[in-house]
């Protein structure tokens, strides 16, 4: 019987084997593809905190993914062109150092998630879904109408941002950087869900009225989860821009929000490795079926329907020992 | 006044022309169990909801321990010491019985916003929770998932959640509904024990339990308090017999 724990070990084996295979067979493309999976997995880990563990069905996480991406591209663009980023209260220049860019991307994504959370968490259910979608779409259209940074055409940064003593242009190096961040985001999620705070936000998902009645300020709990979730997704956006050396308004589009949600649902809601498995499944479908037809999403839709009807716990849920014993 | 922990004055709530609670005046003394009885739809549960703040009142005031809490939110009221059970069991279904109690302990122990500390390693919270489970006779089921507990055990767990908050007053909404004889007796003994620390406003249809427990009884009919007194006084009140008890005791 394959358990979830055993499956997790398989995931880690794959994460280590893929780049080695890429090197042996001299196929850097597969390393880049695996890097993309990991970055999208990080975005999913962020959303999973809000959606999977706290029940906040955000349809606007593209906003944080895109903000993280744009912060990275804009800082890099100003560094390359040696232009001042902003003048007030003193001249601030851009940077092409990841160690500077990452905190900025995380901070600004967190700031946006705080503002969006403060307003949208006053609603719930379908209104929450709609209001988060509306915010993301506002940012999408703003990015299109912002000619300084490429508008609809997006913004290229030519060179990947740098880390001291590392060649980030090397696919394997960048893969390992992203893998470290994935591990960090999973570890943060793990620590959170096993903390007293984690107990509070998982309870909010199940019975918010009861949580209020024991004196826990559920609004603050949900807001903090939403901000942490936005920060992690923003970091993924930053890495995604570096991977592609390009950012465009499409990262802010509702379709991106939908795709991140699909990773979480496919892999298994409220499961630590679920989003990574979901993202991997998504990319494999895209690469295999996409070779035969442009409309490969038809099959994705069919798989989603079947999963929701017959296997709501997602791919990870198939390996849940408890569920297997119940059967 | 000094003897009163909870003092409700003139509390009213209407939905359109329908008055659910009509100028309710009721109080709760220290070391007391004050039972609120009345027919279904009389406004008992709405009154509880008004006291905890989940239903906004139209007029009136609520004083808790000499502090006016009328304008506080439901969470603020819970924080300063109002603890309740729900008429229909309200628990965290996927948590174990132990985890439910720990959740209820979080606020009082200022643990809610500890982001990275392991809950499993918080020995103090676990010990407190286990003691409460012993008090409500659920210690043998501490690891059972709450949604899989029997109805009676869920009622006990609800009381456990209220106990864990260590409040100034308890508002118990039909805590003995669905309990067997042993469960009811356990609850009666427990309530007698805890009222010394936190008095209880008790809504209950089990008259034997009410008469065994209550220091005072108020009768509510059509949103109005029609009588208040000791058990003996209520039993002998003709109006109460006519409108609610329906029999001579």
Q: What pLDDT, in 10s, does the model give residues A80-136?
A: 988 888 887 888 889 999 999 999 999 999 999 999 999 999 999 999 999 999 999
Give me the residue label for tokens 């001042």.
A84
The answer for residues whose C-beta is within 8 angstroms of residue A208's C-beta and 6 or more apart is A218
CB contact under 8 A, A214 and B164: yes
Residues of A in contact with B99 (CB under 8 A): 199
Interchain CB contact of A185 with B (< 8 Å):
no
Residues of A in contact with B74 (CB under 8 A): 212-213
ipTM over 0.85: yes
CB contact under 8 A, A214 and B115: no
Q: Most B CBs within 10 Å: which of A199, A269, A322, as the mutation test of the B interface?
A: A199
The answer for residues whose C-beta is within 8 angstroms of residue A276's C-beta and 6 or more apart is A11, A37, A38, A41, A44, A45, A182, A267
- Angle CA A164–A34–A317, to nearest 5: 125
Q: Which residue of B has its CA nearest to A212?
A: B75
Burial (CB count within 10 angstroms: exposed 0-12, middle 13-18, buried 19+), residue B122: buried
Stretch among A2-6, A20-24, B209-213 having the lowest mean pLDDT: A2-6
What phi and psi values does residue B85 have, to the nearest 5 degrees? -115, 160
Per-residue pLDDT tens digits for B53-87? 999 888 999 999 999 999 999 999 999 999 999 98
> If you average pLDDT over residues A216-243, what whole number do you get?
98
The answer for residues whose C-beta is within 8 angstroms of residue B233's C-beta and 6 or more apart is B227
Q: Pairing state of beta strands B33-37 and B59-64?
A: unpaired
Min Cα distance A159 → chain B (Å) is: 37
Residues of B in contact with A199 (CB under 8 A): 95, 99, 102-103, 106, 119
Interchain CB contact of A198 with B (< 8 Å):
yes
Min Cα distance B38 → chain A (Å) is: 25
Query: Which of 224-263 (A) contact B at CB < 8 A?
Result: 224
pTM flag (> 0.90): yes
Nearest to B118 among A195, A215, A216 (CB): A195
What phi and psi values does residue A68 have, to the nearest 5 degrees? -60, -40
CB contact under 8 A, B106 and A195: no
Q: Which two tokens stand for residue B37?
A: 């009885």
Residue numbers of chain B with a pLDDT score lower than 70:
1-2, 245-249
């Amino acid at each position: 019987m394959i358990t979830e724990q055993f499956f997790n070990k398989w995931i880690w084996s794959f994460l280590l084997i893929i780049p080695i295979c890429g090197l042996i067979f001299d196929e850097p493309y597969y390393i880049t593809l695996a890097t993309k999976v990991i970055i999208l997995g990080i975005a999913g880990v962020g959303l999973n905190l809000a959606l999977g563990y706290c029940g906040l069905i955000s349809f606007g996480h593209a906003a944080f993914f895109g903000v993280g991406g744009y912060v990275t591209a804009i800082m890099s663009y100003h560094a390359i062109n040696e232009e001042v980023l902003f003048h007030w209260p003193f001249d601030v220049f851009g940077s092409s150092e990841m160690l500077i860019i990452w905190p900025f991307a995380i901070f600004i994504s967190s700031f946006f998630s705080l503002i969006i959370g403060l307003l949208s968490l006053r609603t719930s259910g379908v209104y929450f879904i709609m209001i988060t979608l509306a915010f993301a779409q506002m940012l999408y259209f703003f990015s299109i109408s912002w000619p300084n940074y490429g508008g609809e055409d997006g913004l290229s940064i030519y060179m990947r941002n740098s880390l001291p003593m590392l060649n980030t242009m090397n696919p394997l190096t960048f893969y390992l950087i992203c893998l470290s961040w994935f591990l960090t985001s999973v570890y943060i999620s793990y620590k959170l869900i096993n903390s007293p705070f984690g107990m509070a936000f998982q309870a909010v998902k199940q019975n918010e009225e009861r949580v209020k009645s024991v004196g826990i300020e559920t609004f603050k709990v949900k807001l903090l989860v939403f901000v942490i979730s936005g920060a992690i997704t923003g970091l993924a956006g930053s890495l995604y821009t570096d991977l592609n050396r390009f950012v465009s308004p499409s990262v802010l589009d509702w379709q991106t929000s939908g795709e991140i949600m699909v990773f979480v649902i496919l892999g298994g809601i409220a499961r630590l490795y679920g989003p990574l498995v979901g993202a991997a499944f998504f990319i494999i479908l895209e690469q295999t079926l996409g070779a035969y037809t442009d409309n490969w999403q038809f099959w994705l839709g069919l798989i989603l329907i079947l999963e929701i009807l017959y296997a709501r716990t997602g791919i990870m849920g198939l390996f849940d020992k408890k569920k297997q014993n119940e059967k | 006044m000094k003897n009163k922990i909870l003092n409700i004055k003139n509390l009213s709530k209407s939905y359109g022309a329908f008055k659910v609670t009509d100028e309710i005046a009721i109080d709760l003394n220290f070391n007391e169990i004050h039972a609120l009885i009345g027919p279904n739809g009389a406004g008992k549960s709405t009154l509880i909801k008004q006291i905890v703040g989940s239903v906004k009142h139209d007029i009136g005031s609520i004083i808790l321990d000499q502090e006016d809490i009328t304008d506080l939110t439901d969470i603020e009221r819970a924080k300063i010491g109002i603890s309740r059970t729900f008429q229909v069991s309200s628990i965290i279904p996927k948590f174990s019985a132990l985890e439910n109690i720990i959740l209820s302990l979080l606020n009082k122990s200022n643990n809610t916003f500890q982001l990275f500390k392991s809950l499993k390693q918080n020995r103090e919270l676990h010990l407190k929770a286990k003691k409460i489970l012993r008090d409500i006779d659920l210690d043998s089921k501490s690891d059972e998932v709450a949604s899989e507990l029997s109805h009676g055990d869920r009622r006990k767990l609800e009381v456990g959640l209220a106990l864990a908050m260590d409040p100034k007053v308890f508002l118990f909404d039909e805590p003995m509904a669905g309990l067997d004889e042993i469960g009811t007796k356990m609850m009666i003994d427990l309530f007698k024990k805890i009222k010394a620390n936190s008095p209880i406003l008790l809504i209950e249809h089990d008259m034997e339990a009410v008469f065994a427990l209550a220091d005072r009884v108020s009768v509510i009919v059509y949103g109005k308090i029609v009588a208040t007194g000791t058990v003996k006084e209520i039993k002998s009140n003709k109006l109460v017999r006519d409108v609610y008890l329906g029999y001579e005791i």
